[in-house]
Structure 1
Amino acid sequence: MGLSQPSCRFWTPLYVVNHGETGPIRCNRCKAYMCPFMQFIEGGRRYQCGFCNCINDVPPFFFQHLDHIGRRVDHYERPELSLGSYEYVATLDYCRNNKPPKPPAYIFMIDVSYRNINSGLVKLICDELKTLLDKLPREEQEESSAIRVGFVTYNKVLHFFNVKSSLAQPQMMVVSDVGEVFVPLLDGFLVNFQESRSVVINLLDQIPEMFADTNESETIFAPVIQAGMEALKAAECAGKLFIFHSSLPTAEAPGKLRNRDDKKLLNTDKEKTLFQPQVNSYEALARDCVANGCCVNLFLFPNQYVDVASMGLVTMYTGGTLYKYNNFQLDADSPQFLSDLRKDIEKKTGFDAIMRVRTSTGFRATDFFGAIYMNNTTDVEMAAVDCDKAVTVEFKHDDKLNEDSGALIQCAVLYTSISGQRRLRIHNIGLNCSSQLADVYKTCETDALINFFAKSAFKAILSQPLKMVREILVNQTAHMLACYRKNCASMSAVSQLILPDAMKVLPVYMNCLLKSCVLVGRPEIPTDERAYHRQLVMSMGVADTQLFFYPQLLPIHSLDLKSDAVPAAVRCSEERLSEGGAFLLANGLSMFLWLGVSTPPELIQGLFNVPSFAHISTEATSLPDLDNPFSKKLKSILEHIQSQKPYTMKLIIVKQREQPEMLFRQFLVEDKSIYGGASYVDFLCCVHKEICQLLS
C-alpha cells in the first residue's frame, strides 16, 4: 500500500507497518501508540511519551542512534515517526481468541412477500446481484475478493440456500420456527462466488419464479437479522447483512411491530417515544450483532408507516447504512436504488472495529456520536466502518493546557480488513493552545460546530421534549455570540449585532437545524421521515451535514460553456430565483432542477430536446443524453456533485407555479418554512434579542 497524507475520508490507502510478532510500541502508562509527538532520549534507548510525559524503554528491535538534533536517523523511513496517520498489522494479541480472523462475509436477505414479488423488486435485485457479485471489494494486491456470500429469502418464514460449488442445483432449507432461529446448514451456505458462480446464478434466476405465486403479505424482521448474525457467528467471521424489506413486520415473531404513528403525541412530552424503539428486543439484538461483528445494511421500500425508529436501530448501532425509497416505482426509482446498492457493495469497509481516543493532560473525550455502540465510556464499537461514516467526539477541557506543547489527540482503530487481516489504524494530531479567548473565536470551525450541535440535539430528543431541545440550541447560540460581544469585540452600539468573522454563518446554519423535520413536530411530516433523517445525520461527516442543512443552489442559466468552472452558488432564498432562470439544488439526499416560466427556449431545447417550457415533462428522473455543450456541461456537474456524496440523489424536475414546487420550496432554507420555521432574518432578530438580554 502506498504512502498518503491523512484524509477526511477514513479508509484511504496508508502505509502499513509490520513488525512481525513484536507489535506496535505503546506507552506503559497511558497506552498511547508511538507517534511523531514522542521524544527520544539517551541515544534512542528511551523515549518520552507526548501524551503523559512518562519515560519508556525502547524495545531492542527498535533501537537506533539519534542524529545531531536528537532525532532518530530512520525518522523518515518509519511512518509512525513522521506521519500523522499510519497502520500496523496487528499481532494475535489483538485478535479474538488469539486466532487470526477469517475474511468477512456478505449475506443477502430478500423479502419475498407478495408486494415485492408483484412489483418486480425481487427480480430487479436478483438480476443486479448477478453482475454485482463480480465487483466485491478486494485488496489492491489481490486478484479476487476474499469475501464469501450467502443468500436468504423470507416472508413469515426463512429460506436458507445451499449453493455449494459441487451441487448441480441450489438447495432450499426452510426455518419455520422463527421464535428460536437456527442456521440449518454451515457447509455450502457461505461460499466463494467465483467457485460457486454457476450455482449462485442459477439460484438468482430461480428466486423470482420460486415465489411467483405467493399470497403471503405478512413479514418478520428481527428473526431475519438474528439468522444472519447466527450464520456469521457459526462461520466465525464478521460481515454485512444486506436486507431488502418493504413493510411493517406484523407476523407473529420476536420483534413484531404495530402501527404507533400517533399524531396526537406531537408537541407533547411523549413525542420522544416516536424516536425510540417500540420494543426492547431491537436494542438487545443490536448489542449481540456488534459483539459478533455483524453489520446490518437495510434497504427499505415502504408505501406506508414501517416504524423506522425501531427497524433502523440495529442498522445505526452496527455501523450500517439505511436506505429508504418511499412508494418505490420500478421505472422511476430503480436507477437510484441500484446505484446505492452498487456503491455499498463495492466500498472499502473495516469490520469488527473498536476505536479509542486518547488525549494529553488537560482535556478528555467525554461523548461520542455516530453509527456506533458503546458498552462502556471509552470503547467505541462498530460492527463495520466505511468512508461515508463519521464519529463526532466531544472533548471537555478540565485542567490547564500548556501553550508550548499544545494539546494532543490520538485515535486508534482496531479492525479487520476485507481480506481478513487484523489491523490497527492510528491517527495523531497536535493542536495549538491559547489563553486568549479571541483566538478561539478567530479559529472556530463553524461547520464542525453545526455537526456537533445537530448530533447532540438529535441524541437529546430521545430523552427530552423537542421544545426544550430547540430552546437549548437558541440559548447556546446566543451565549456563544454574547460571550464574543462582551470579551472580544470592540465597543459599539447595543443595537448592533456583531458576529465573529469565523462564525458569520452560525445563525443561518442553526436556523436550518431548528427547521429540520426532525425538530419540527408537524402532522404533515411523516414520523418515519423524521426518524430516517435523524439516523442519517447521526453518522454524517462535517461536509455532509453542511450540505444537508444548507443545500447548494446553482444558477444553471449562468453556465460558462467555455470554462470548466461551476457557477457560484447563490443563497437559498426565493428572492434569488428568477422567472428567466434555471437552478439546480442539491442537499445530499435530493436534487432538484427548477425552471422558471420564462426560461429561454434555447436552454430548454439544449437540456430536454423540447421546444418550450410547456413541453417539459416533470415525470423524468434524469436528463436525456444530448450531444450539445450545455447538456454535457450540466451532466458533468451533476456527476461531480453526486460523486462526492454517499447517497444517490434522484433528480426531480420542477416547473415554476406547478404543484411539485411546494416540495422544492421547503429547501429554500433562508425563507420562512411552510411548516412554521422562522426566516433567517427573523431568527437573527430573535438571537440578537437574546444576546441583548444576556448583556443587560
Structure 2
Amino acid sequence: MTYTQMANQSQTPCQWTGQNGWPAVSPSGPHNPMPSLQHLNLGSQYPEHQQWTNQTNMGFSSNVNHTVHHTDTNGPLSIPGVNKVGNAPPCFLPVVTTETQLQQMSPHYPKRPDQAIPPPPQPLYSQQGSLHGNLQITPQSFENYGGQYPQHHHGNLMDSSGSPTGTVQPQPQCVLPPQLRGTTDTFVPSAVTLDKNSTPQSPTSESRYGLDPELLPSAVKVMAEDRAEWENKVFVSEFFSALPPLPTTSCPVEDKGNTSPSVIRSTTYCVPCDGQTVLLSRLPLGALVTPFAERNDKEMPLPVCQEPECVVGCKYCGASMCPAMNWQDCGQRFYCPFCGKLSEVPWQQYQPTKGVAGPRADKDRRPELSMGSYEIVHSQRAEAAALLLAIDVSASALRGGHLEFVSQQIHMLLNSLNRENGDGVSDVRVGLMTYDSRIHLYNLSPALTRPHMLVLTDTDDLQLPVRDGLLVSLRDCIDSIDSVLQLIPKFTEECNVPGGVSVKLPVTAGLTVLQALDCPGKLLIFHSASLVETELTNTSGFFGSYKPKSIFQPSEPVVSLAKECIHQGCSVHLFFLSQQDVGGAWPGYIPYLTGGVLHTYSHLQGDLDREHFSADLKKTVETDVAYRAKLRIFVSKDLRVSGCYGLFVPGTSPAQVTMAALDHWTTVAVEIAHTRSLDETRGAAIQAVLSYSTQTGERRTRVHTLTLRCSPHLQEVFRHFQAQTLLAFYCKKMYCTVMERPLQELREELQTEVTEALASYRKHCSSAAVSTGQLVLPQYLRALPVYVNSLRKSEVLLPGMRTSVHQRLQLRCQVLGMDACGTATHFYPQLLCLHTLTENSNTPPELRGALRCTAVSLEPRGLYLIHTPLTLLLWVGNQVPANTLAEVFNTSYVPSLPSGETKLPDLDSPLSISIRSLINTLNCQVSRARKLWVVKQGDTCEEVMQRHLVEDKSPNGGASYADFLYHLHVNSVRLLQ
C-alpha cells in the first residue's frame, strides 16, 4: 500500500454541494465567452478570515462516472466561464462516457477524429531557436479506454517552426479526460448520480481533470538537467552576460568583466529595448542583488584596491568605475552608461587607450577596469564593532531555571572567541547588561579589581552617567565577564513586574550604549519574561479584523526605534527563551528590520532545545556582517529603479537602501522600468555599490556591475528568463506588498500575470501549428507554474487554520531575507531518498537526484529527507525493513520511534554514517541552525510533511500543481479567443 493510499483510509468523501451554499444542479443561462481577468483565478472570493468547516475532509471519488463537486478551502478553483452562471459551483465537472454523448453535449467538440481544434491566431513574428514545452492536451476517443481516463503519450519540445529539437529532453503529452475536451466555454451539467461504492482516491497527488502529475513539467528534472550541463564546468561571466546556471546549481564563476550571478541575477538576460515589449511579455524586469555574497571556494578572491590608487567613477551620478564605462579621446574622458554624461579623468590617474576609443593600456592591472566585482579600501576608519549582551533577570526569568544554562553557553562562547583572538584574529569589544524593569550596566574595566554594577531606574529617559568600562576588549575583560555570569543565576527577585517586560527596554539601553561610544555592533538579547503587548503593536490588526494586510504592519514606535538602530549600525538578535503568542506583541519586528534574527525556544528544558540554542548563538556571533551598510543601485540612463523589495525599512528612494547590518544571504529585489527606448548596440547595465564598515572599523566599498544585451524581439526576451529567478522576485515583491494590499488580491494578481505571460508567449512566439490542446511554455520557464503555485499557497499568502499569526510573521521575515537559491529550495524542497545512500557512494547524496515533491514519491518501505533552508524532516514509512531501522535508529520497530524533534544516534553502520554526514552537509549550506524532525507515516504530525509536498493539494486548501497548470493553460488559451 502506498503512502497516498494509507493517507486516504482516514478520509471520507466531502459533500461539498450545499455546504457552501451551492445548488446541486447548475442553473441555466447564457455564458460569457470571454470573462474578465478577475474571473480567471484560483484565489479566494471570500473574506480572508472565513474558514470552511470541512478543511480536513478533502477526499473525492475517482470513479469517472461521478460528478465531482469540489472547491479549495481558500475559495473556488474556477473554470473559465463557470463563474458567470449564477451561483453555480465553480468546479462542476461533467462526466461523459462515450464519444457520441460528448458530441451531443458540446457542439464545439470535433465531430470527426481528423477534425482539429482551431489553432490560435498567427504570431506577429517567429524566430528560429526559441524552445517551448509542448504538453499535448488533445481530444481522443474515450470509449477506447473502457470509460476510464485515457492513457498518456509523450511529446517533444519544439522550436518555433514546430520541428522537434534535440537540445532538450522530451516533455510529456497529457491527454485531458473526455469531459474536458472541446471549448472551455462549455459548461455541461451531469445527470449521473454519485456512486456510493466508489473507491476514494487521494485529492493530493492526482488531478481532478485526469492529468497525471508525473507527466507534467518537472522542477526536479529541470534542476537535474542544469546541474548535469554545468558539472565540472566554469561559467565565464563576460560582457553582455549569457544565461547563467540556475541558482540551485553550484558552479564556479570566472569574472571576465561581469559580476557573478550569485551577486546580481537579472530576471532576464536579454533586456527588451522598450517598455511596450516588457508590458507585452507580462513578466517583470528587474534583478536580485546579494551585495555581500560569499564567493565559491573554487573562485579567485575578490580583488581589492586602495582608494587613492583607484580610478574614480562618474562625478555626475556617483556611479563607480567599471568595465561598462566607454573610454574616449585616447583615455582623457569616459562615457557613463548610467547617466549618459562624459567625465574627465584626473591627470594623476590618466593612462592612454589602445586606439581612440579602445580600452586603457592598464586595464589588466586594474580591477576597476576589468572586473565585474571588486572592493575599495578607504583610508578613513570608523569605530570597531562591539558585541553587547543583554540578559533578562526578571522574576519570571529567575523562576524559569534556564539562566544558568544561558550563562554557561555565553561563557563557553566568549572563551572560544578569546582563544581565537590569541591566534591573531582581531580582538572584539564586549559589553554586558542585565535588566528587569530597570537596566543594570557593568563596568568591566581591567583597572578595577571586580566589575561594578550601575543601576538605571529611569528607563523612560536613559542617560549614561559613565562611559568608561561599558565596552572593553575581550582579552582584557574575560575574567570580569565570567564573574558576572556566575552570579546571574543567583540573583534574587527584587522587581516582580506583573505586566511583563518590554523588549523595547533592552533595545533602547543597548542602542544608548552604542550611541554614546559611537560604534556599531551586535546586540544579543536573552529574553524570558512575558511581553508587554501595547508597546509593540496594535492588537486590532491581529484579531477580529477583515484587513489581513494589517497583521504585517509594525507600529510607528517600532519603526522609529528600528530606524535609530539602522542609523547607528545596531543589529538586534533576540533569543526568546519562553515561546508564547501574546496577542499582537510579536517581538520580531525590530530584530529583522535591523539585520538581526528572532530565535524562539520552549523554555530550554530539553536537550534538543539546548543544542539548538548553542548552535544559534555560535552562528550569530561568528557570522561576518557588513555594518552600517548603504546600498545604491544604478541602472542605464534609459532605465529607472521603480521598486526595491526586501527585509529593510524603506527609504525615500527605491535606488538606495540603508541597513544596520548585512550578511552573506541577504538579498533584495530591484524592479526596473523604461524611461525611453534602449540602444540595442549599447545594451543595459546594472551596478550595485555597497558601502560598509567591517568588524575592525575599516571602511570599504564593494562594486558589482552586470551588463546585459538588449533586443527588440519578444521571443529573445522570453528565452532568457529563468523560473527560479522569477520565483525569488515574485516572492520578495508579494511578501513586501502584503503590508499594503489584501492577500486575495495579491494571489489573483500573481496568477493573472503568469496567465497573461503564457498567453503572450503562445500568441507571439509559438508556431501557428500549435493546437489549442497543447501547453506551450518557454524552455527555461517550464518549472514556473509549480513555483508560482507553491508561492500562492504558502503560509504567508494563504494561511491555514493551524498557522498562528506569529508563525506567519516569522516565516515572512525569514523568507524575505533569503537569496535566490534559498528561495527556490524553500518553495520546492529537496526530497532525498535515504535508504539507498550506501549505493553509488562516489556521488554526493545531495547531487544523486532528488524526487518530486508529491506523496506518490514516498514508498512505505523507505526513508526520505525533506530539506529546506528552514526545515529538516525525516519521513519514515510504516514498512521500513527492520535492519534499516536498526542501522539508523538502533531499533527494529517503527511504533517505538519518537515523532517530532529528535537527534539520530551515533551508530557505526554505513547507512547511519551516510545520513548523518548528509545532514551535516546540508546544515552547512543554510544560514540558521535547524532541528531534525522525524515524521512517521500515519502519525497526526504528518501534516507538517504534507505542507512541503508542494505538487499536491496542501492542507490549507491550496490547489495541486496539476490542477493549477490546467487552469493556467485553459485561461491563457481563452485570452486568445
What is the TM-score of this pair, normalised by structure 2? 0.66
Letter in 2 for 1:678: A
Secondary structure in 1 aligned to 2:678? coil
Distance 1:87 1:287 in 2: 27
Figure out how many residues of one structure are paired with residues of the other and give that number: 680
1:621-654 CA-to-partner distances (Å, cap 9, x unmatched) read 2211111211111111111111111121200111
Structure 2 residue 586 is the aligned partner of structure 1 residue 316: no
Matched, 1:520 2:798: yes
Change (3 A) 1:307 1:399: farther
| 1:310, distance to aligned residue in structure 2 (A) | 5.2
1:273 aligns with 550
Specify whether residues 114 and 671 from structure 1 end up closer, same or farther in structure 2 by C-alpha distance, changes over 3 A only.
Answer: farther
In structure 2, how many angstroms separate the alpha carbons of the residues matched to 1:29 and 1:138?
Answer: 49
Q: In the alignment, does 2:630 pair up with 1:354?
A: yes
Listed as ranges, the matches of 1:173-252 within 5 Å are 173-211=454-492, 216=497, 218-246=500-528, 248-250=530-532
Q: Which residue of 1 is the match for residue 325 of structure 2? A: 38
Q: Of 687, 702, 705, which residue of structure 2 is paired with 1:428? A: 705
Question: Per-residue deviation at 1:300?
Answer: 2.7
Paired residues of 2:685 and 2:708 also in contact (CA < 8 A): yes
Counterparts of 1:2-81 in structure 2, within 5 Å, are 8=262, 10-12=292-294, 13-20=301-308, 25-67=312-354, 70-81=358-369
8 A contact 1:508–1:680 mirrored in 2: yes
1:151 counterpart residue number: 432
Larger radius of gyration: 2
Q: Specify whether residues 393 and 620 from structure 1 end up closer, same or farther in structure 2 by C-alpha distance, changes over 3 A only.
A: closer
Shift of 1:138: 12
SS at match of 1:691: helix
**Which deviates further from its counterpart, 581-590 or 237-246?**
237-246
1:641 counterpart SS class: helix
After superposition, the Cα gap between the structure-2 partners of 1:494 and 1:306, relative to the gap in structure 1 and judged at 3 Å, is same
Q: Secondary structure of the equivalent of 1:432?
A: strand
Conserved? CA contact 1:322–1:536, under 8 Å: no
Paired residue for 1:285, among 547, 551, 561?
561
Q: Secondary structure at the match of 1:195?
A: helix
Query: 1:111 offset after TM fit, Å?
Result: 2.2
> Please, which of 100, 103, 106 is the counterpart of residue 384 of structure 2?
103
Where does residue 164 of structure 1 map in the other structure? 445
Aligned counterpart for 2:956 among listed residues 675, 683, 688: 675
How many angstroms does 1:297 deviate by? 1.8
Instruction: Give the drift of 1:80.
Output: 0.6
Kindly provide the amino acid, as one letter, of the partner of residue 811 in structure 2: H
> For residues 57 and 569 of structure 1, do their structure 2 counterparts lie closer, same or farther at Cα, with a shift above 3 Å needed?
same
* Corresponding letter in the other structure for 2:336: C
Q: 1:373 to 1:264 in 2, by over 3 A?
A: closer
Structure 1 counterpart of 2:677, from 400, 407, 426: 400
Match of 1:600 among 881, 887, 892: 881
Q: Is this contact kept in 2: 1:369–1:539, CA < 8 A?
A: no
Residue 88 of structure 1 is matched in structure 2 by 376
CA distance in 1, matches of 2:844, 2:310: 49
5 Å matches for 1:331-370?
331-370=607-646
Q: Distance in 2 between matches of 1:247 and 1:570?
A: 44
> Is the 8 Å Cα contact of residues 111 and 244 (structure 1) preserved in structure 2?
yes
Could you tell me how far 1:303 is from its partner in structure 2? Answer: 3.2
Paired position in structure 2 for 1:542: 820
1:564 matches 2:846: no
User: Percent sequence identity over matched residues?
Assistant: 33
Residue identity in the other structure for 1:498: V
Match of 1:450 among 712, 723, 727: 727
Q: Is residue 660 of structure 1 aligned with residue 941 of structure 2?
A: yes
Alignment check: 8 A CA contact 1:37 1:50 kept: yes
Deviation at 1:593, TM superposition (A): 0.7
CA distance in 2, matches of 1:583, 1:174: 54
1:255 aligns with 2:531: no
CA RMSD across the alignment? 2.6
SS of the residue 1:584 aligns to:
strand
> Which secondary structure state, in structure 1, belongs to the residue aligned with residue 535 of structure 2?
coil
How far, CA to CA, are the matches of 1:117 and 1:592 in structure 2? 34
CA deviation profile, 1:59-108 (whole Å, cap 9, x unmatched): 2221233346933332222111111111112255xxxxxxx311011211
Q: Tell me the equivalent position of 1:498.
A: 776
- Cα distance between partner residues in 2 of 1:4 and 1:147: 35
Q: Name the structure 1 match of 2:8.
A: none
Task: From the superposition, tell whether residues 140 and 222 of structure 1 become closer, same or farther in structure 2 (CA, over 3 Å).
Answer: closer
Is 1:488 aligned with 2:765?
A: yes
Letter in 2 for 1:84: G
Pair 1:241–1:307, CA change in 2 (3 A) = farther
Q: Hey, what's the Cα distance between the residues in 1 that align with 2:436 and 2:516? A: 23
> Counterparts of 2:604 and 2:763 in 1: how far apart (Å)?
54
Q: 1:493 to 1:326 in 2, by over 3 A?
A: farther
Higher helix share: 1
Q: What is residue 52 of structure 2 aligned with on the other side?
A: none
8 A Cα contact 1:245 1:301, kept in partner: yes
SS in 1 for 2:835: helix
Q: Distance in 2 between matches of 1:429 and 1:220?
A: 45
Q: Does residue 965 of structure 2 align to residue 684 of structure 1?
A: yes
Instruction: Say if 1:589 and 1:327 are closer, same or farther in 2 by CA, change over 3 A.
Output: farther
Q: Is the 8 A contact 1:414 1:423 kept in 2?
A: yes
CA distance in 2: counterparts of 1:462 and 1:51, whole angstroms: 32
Structure showing greater relative contact order (alpha-carbon pairs closer than 8 Å, 6 or more residues apart): 2
TM-superposition CA deviations, 1:344-381 (whole Å, max 9, x none): 21111111111111111221212111222333113210
**C-alpha separation in 1, matches of 2:584 and 2:473:** 33
Q: Please point out which of 371, 376, 379 is paired with 2:647.
A: 371
Letter in 1 for 2:736: K
Deviation at 1:615, TM superposition (A): 3.2
Q: Greater CA deviation, 625-634 or 306-315?
A: 306-315
Shift of residue 115 of structure 1? 4.1
In 1, the alpha carbon distance for the partners of 2:339 and 2:648 equals 28
Contact 2:400 2:603 in 1 (8 A): no
Contact 1:241 1:296 in 2 (8 A): yes
* TM-superposed deviation, 1:574: 0.8
Distance change >3 Å, CA 330–CA 162, structure 1 → 2: farther
Secondary structure of the 1:90 match is: strand
CA apart distance, 1:490: 1.7
Find the aligned partners of 2:683 and 2:614 in 1 and give their Cα distance: 48
How far apart in 2 are the matches of 1:380 and 1:24? 25
Deviation readout 1:382-409 (Å, 9 max, x if unpaired): 1111112111111113321222221111
More divergent stretch after superposition (28-37 vs 571-580)? 28-37
Distance 1:381 1:79, change over 3 A: same
Describe how 1:604-619 pairs up with structure 2 within 5 A. 604-618=885-899
Gaps of 5+ in 1: 93-99
Greater displacement, 345-354 / 216-225: 216-225
